[in-house]
Amino acid sequence: MSELIHIGVDLGGTTIKMALIDDTGKMIDKWAIATDTIDNGSRIASDISASIVKKLAQLQIDRSEVSGIGMGAPGFINMTTGFVYKAVNIGWENYPLKDELESLTGIPAIIENDANLAALGEMWLGAGRGARNMVCVTLGTGVGGGIICDGEILHGVNGMAGEIGHITVLPKNGAPCNCGKKGCLETVSSATGIRRLALEALDYNDSDSILRDIFENKGDITAEDVFLCAGKNDPLSSVVAEKAAYYLGYALGAISIVINPEKIVIGGGVSRAGDTLLAPLTKYFKKFSLPRVFEACTIDVAKLGNDAGVIGGAWLAKMKIGKLRTA
Amino acid sequence: MSELIHIGVDLGGTTIKMALIDDTGKMIDKWAIATDTIDNGSRIASDISASIVKKLAQLQIDRSEVSGIGMGAPGFINMTTGFVYKAVNIGWENYPLKDELESLTGIPAIIENDANLAALGEMWLGAGRGARNMVCVTLGTGVGGGIICDGEILHGVNGMAGEIGHITVLPKNGAPCNCGKKGCLETVSSATGIRRLALEALDYNDSDSILRDIFENKGDITAEDVFLCAGKNDPLSSVVAEKAAYYLGYALGAISIVINPEKIVIGGGVSRAGDTLLAPLTKYFKKFSLPRVFEACTIDVAKLGNDAGVIGGAWLAKMKIGKLRTA
């Protein structure tokens, strides 16, 4: 088997990240272009294709040396056809992304949901290195998830597998979620949810708190502020951080009983809290999983940051296209 | 590819069920022998082997016409080695079941957990026919589970995947479970759990109830009595049935967000309640899943009864051994 180069593409609402990665996972080059959402994103595929073709020419890489393009996009994707059903931030609806990329570049492509792509990246070269059963949780504006069983992303029957932000953790009196339900994990353990819990605590509680000082100074607080203050043993912040960790540990306990992972990787902005999050999270995860499930699993913070998507894309190209081409 | 015959074996605490099944799923013969648990189950493998060898001779089937033996056993199993770590009811500990069966019969064997085997049976010829993403729930003394993603049983990193009876559904004030935790699904939605809820309701509540009449008559009640009375609109029984369905719907909502199945199959004694269980269950499953997850999934009662295990065993022999032999 000759060495191939794998192209990873990660489409976001403002930038498109791209990378060339070799078989061993070495990053040959990475770059980004702006996402042009004008005219319902109709220029995006040609922008990406032109950028890839130009980069390959610059580096004097022939198409025959490339396995393929692994690309992540937000929204609902049909993995078989490479159709994007709907990607609201981009403007696509029933968009034939795989076909467009392939005809514009002459390189085979594979499309995956962006949260799943990041999970694959962490599995290949990040915190999940070597794990074949893994849950990847992204704690950002929402709570995203990518689940890998026996080395493969779970998609389910219509691509909804791993939407773990919408597991109900507060069946009664939960706050409304963007999905239309109430009490979803996302309402309490996302950056947005943690901010909301903290604002409620500040409103409900009169006690002195360094979090309150920040609030009075800046006029607002973030989830990062909450964990920063909890790390300094601010009681009010610690209660909020503990609450967010409790519900995340509760959901991860259930998820782990379902799929029995060896690794849980926590990514997204909130994961920067490190041990201030991981210590209570591990405690509640233990409480709500089973002893044999808990003992087989470690929880870690994601390692690849913004590169997880392009690395996952390159992995997909390597495993799903490259293996076929060199078989 | 020549037609092969597949042997399914399902080991229970009192009987061992066996069957010969052809490629199309037709049952050629089925029979059972008693489980001899004397001397830590040391005779079981030779009893099974002798019974298979005798049956093949009777039916004049040559070993070359057989794909292999797919066998289910209770307890923790290493799928790769066919070792049974521990099967309490049988008496086995670190028992090399696959090796024993193979050396005694001269036929290749594959070992699987019995709940998973039943799930595979329902997928092949039962309520899950044709489904590749499926959850199988057995509501009996406990709550067992088998989860199939993309046609394959989920095992997880150490064989614990699908132990859904131990998902916590009552994080506060839950009843103790056999596993040592509190508030597991098994404590409220198993036959045992439903009986307990009903006894508590009878004790707490003074109202007239046909369930109470049964209790006073027989000195006890079963989960079956509860659903029978709920089917006759007995208010007290209906509340208990609704509660059991609520927690099962809650757990299945979370499970379905994780794996996005097309089919949920409910088996075990409690599933005989039929629509008295399925109607409230579907209502709560809808509430706790997501619209796209709910719409893609149907809930059905298991169809194969006690044959699910041997059929799943034959399916394993067909798919995991037969395919290799005829490739």
Q: What is the pLDDT of residues A164-213, one digit of tens each?
A: 999 999 999 999 998 899 999 999 999 999 999 999 999 998 889 999 99
- B79 reaches A (C-beta below 8 A): no
What ipTM was predicted for this assembly?
A: 0.93
* Distances from the Cα of A324 to the Cα of A1, A2, A316, A318, angstroms: 11, 13, 12, 9
pLDDT in tens, chain B (327 residues): 468 999 999 999 899 999 999 999 999 999 999 999 899 999 999 999 999 999 999 999 999 999 999 999 988 888 889 999 888 778 898 999 999 999 999 999 999 999 999 999 999 999 999 999 999 999 998 999 999 999 999 999 999 999 999 999 999 999 999 889 999 999 999 999 999 999 999 999 888 999 999 999 999 999 999 999 999 999 999 999 999 999 999 999 999 999 999 999 999 999 999 999 999 999 999 999 999 999 999 999 999 999 999 999 999 999 999 877 665
Rounded-to-integer distance, Cα A282 and Cα B191, Å: 32
SS3 A164: helix
The gap from C-alpha B76 to its chain's centroid, in whole angstroms, comes to 14
- B78 reaches A (C-beta below 8 A): no
Chain B: nearest CA to A184, how far in angstroms?
9
Q: What is the pLDDT of residues A120-130, one digit of tens each?
A: 999 999 999 99
- A285 reaches B (C-beta below 8 A): no
Interface of A with B in 165-204 (CB under 8 A): 166-168, 171, 179-181
- In b/e form, how buried is each residue of A177-200, taking b as 16+ CB within 10 angstroms? bebebbbbbbbbbbbbbbbbbbbe
Q: DSSP per residue over A129-143, as a string?
A: TT-SSEEEEEESSSE
Chain A: nearest CA to B141, how far in angstroms?
19
Beta strands in chain B (DSSP E): 5-11, 15-22, 27-34, 66-73, 76-78, 83-87, 92-95, 109-113, 134-139, 143-149, 152-153, 263-267, 298-301
Widest pairwise Cα distance in chain A? 67
Q: What is the pLDDT of residues B72-131, one digit of tens each?
A: 998 888 888 999 988 877 889 899 999 999 999 999 999 999 999 999 999 999 999 999
- B124 reaches A (C-beta below 8 A): no
Q: Is the pLDDT of residue A88 over 80?
A: no
Q: Which chain A residues touch B147 with a CB distance below 8 Å? A: 258-259
Q: What is the pLDDT of residue A299?
A: 98
Query: Of B160, B258, B296, which has the smallest distance from its Cβ to A157's Cβ?
Result: B296
- A71 reaches B (C-beta below 8 A): no
Query: Of A160, A257, A261, which has the smallest distance from its Cβ to B167's Cβ?
Result: A257
Interface of B with A in 131-150 (CB under 8 A): 132-133, 147, 149-150
Query: Of B159, B167, B180, which has the smallest distance from its Cβ to A254's Cβ?
Result: B167
Q: What is the pLDDT of residue B327?
A: 57
Q: What is the pLDDT of residue A326?
A: 62
Minimal-distance CA residue of chain B relative to A150: B156
Query: Of A133, A180, A251, which has the smallest distance from its Cβ to B156's Cβ?
Result: A133
- A118 reaches B (C-beta below 8 A): no
* Distances from the Cα of A131 to the Cα of A23, A134, A251, B119, B261, angstroms: 18, 6, 21, 26, 24
A137 beta partners: A145, A266
Structural domains of chain B, ranges and CATH numbers in brackets: 5-121+309-326 (3.30.420.40), 129-303 (3.30.420.40)
Name the band, by pLDDT with cuts 50, 70 and 90, for residue A87: confident
